[in-house]
Amino acid sequence: MALLSIVLPAYNEEQNIANTSKVLSELLEEQHIEYELVYVSDGSRDGTFSEIQKAAAGNPRIRGVEFSRNFGKEAAIFAGLELTVGNAAIVMDCDLQHPPQVIPRMWELWKDGAEVVEGIKESRGKESLAHRLSAGLFYKVMSGLIKMDMNASSDFKLLDRKVVDVLLTLPERNTFFRALSFWVGFRTEKVTYEVQERQFGESKWSFFSLMKYAVTNATSFSTLPLQLVTVMGIVSILFSIILFIQTLVKYLMGTSVEGFTTVILLILIIGGFLMLSLGIIGHYIARIYEEVKGRPKYIISKRTDEH
């Protein structure tokens, strides 16, 4: 019988573990789906891991690990995938914002031959307008960068064992799970879902952590920003040629060349371009630096199956 693994990254989610485990196991048992729940506590500072241990003690289908510190959701997802043994794996948030009711549909699509089932957000739940706008912009830019339509995509998805194994062989440290499942290809189906209210606790994302996430992912996934630097260079060269011709013509016609403001403006514009370009290049160097160091994506400090 086919086994479904469910990967649940959890950071300071002590209030959610028991409830989520109960909801998922009841649903899957009712649907007669063979399953395992794999929790990854991402260096939680609260009782998340002991909650996972409790859940594991009460149900042999539940397992989990704890990271030595907070490594981020991406690392937690990969650690979880590495631990799975199922024929397919679903990654979902452990705050039940990804509705479990969608799982049976994903499972059916997998049985019908889908190798990736993308969870697409139908509504973004109760998010602020600012969040909605910035998320919209981020997905537009990312879709352009990776040249695939990943609008409203999320980390809620099902992957066939084949796809999981491919993802696990990718050597890079900076992973962007949401886009990688597009990048690897395979036969993909979609299911839409409504983002639910968070069950307990609060969101771990701040404006700055989202900005950092956006920049890291854009630079680890695409070299388009670097090409943009070249374009900016060409634009300023063209601009200066035009200005040179204009100045020359004025000089030949005998009109005096006025220009204090122009000079200041040009210095500012070119200075701005240069600093922006250096910043973009700097981001890539930072990515290369991290990859070259070759440190592991995460460090596991505890497991539920050891004492």
Minimum CB separation of residue 43 from ligand UDP in Å reads 8
- The closest alpha carbon to 77, from 172, 7, 12, 20, belongs to 7
Compare residues 45 and 187 and give the one whose CB is closer to ligand UDP: 45
Compare residues 12 and 115 and give the one whose CB is closer to ligand UDP: 12
> 127-159 burial, b if ≥16 CB within 10 A, otherwise e?
eeeeeeebbeebbebbbebbeeebebbbbbbbb
Compare residues 42 and 93 and give the one whose CB is closer to Mg ion: 93
What track of x and - describes contact with Mg ion for positions 92 through 111 (by CB under 5 A)? -x-x-x--------------
Angle formed by the axes of helices 161-169 and 73-83, nearest 10°: 120
Minimum CB separation of residue 28 from ligand UDP in Å reads 18
Q: Which does 78 bind (CB under 5 to 8 A by kind): Mg ion, ligand UDP, none?
A: none
Minimum CB separation of residue 259 from ligand UDP in Å reads 52
Q: Which does 191 bind (CB under 5 to 8 A by kind): ligand UDP, Mg ion, none?
A: none
Residue 154 touching Mg ion (CB under 5 A): no
The answer to whether 176 touches 217, Cβ cutoff 8 Å, is yes
- The closest alpha carbon to 179, from 206, 145, 205, belongs to 145
Q: What is the DSSP string of 148-169?
A: S--TTEEEEEEEEHHHHHHHHH
The answer to whether 36 touches 64, Cβ cutoff 8 Å, is no
| Spatial separation of the C-alpha atoms in residues 274 and 263, rounded to whole Å | 16
Structure tokens at 109: 């699509």
Structure tokens at 130: 């600012």
Piece in contact with Mg ion (CB under 5 A), picked from 88-96, 101-109, 111-119, 284-292: 88-96
Angle formed by the axes of helices 207-221 and 129-146, nearest 10°: 10
Compare residues 70 and 143 and give the one whose CB is closer to ligand UDP: 70
Compare residues 5 and 97 and give the one whose CB is closer to ligand UDP: 97
Minimum CB separation of residue 203 from ligand UDP in Å reads 3
Residues that bind ligand UDP (CB under 6 A): 9-11, 13, 42, 70, 72-73, 76, 93-95, 97, 203-205
Compare residues 61 and 98 and give the one whose CB is closer to Mg ion: 98
Compare residues 95 and 115 and give the one whose CB is closer to Mg ion: 95
Minimum CB separation of residue 224 from ligand UDP in Å reads 25
Q: Which does 247 bind (CB under 5 to 8 A by kind): Mg ion, ligand UDP, none?
A: none
Angle formed by the axes of helices 48-58 and 14-30, nearest 10°: 30
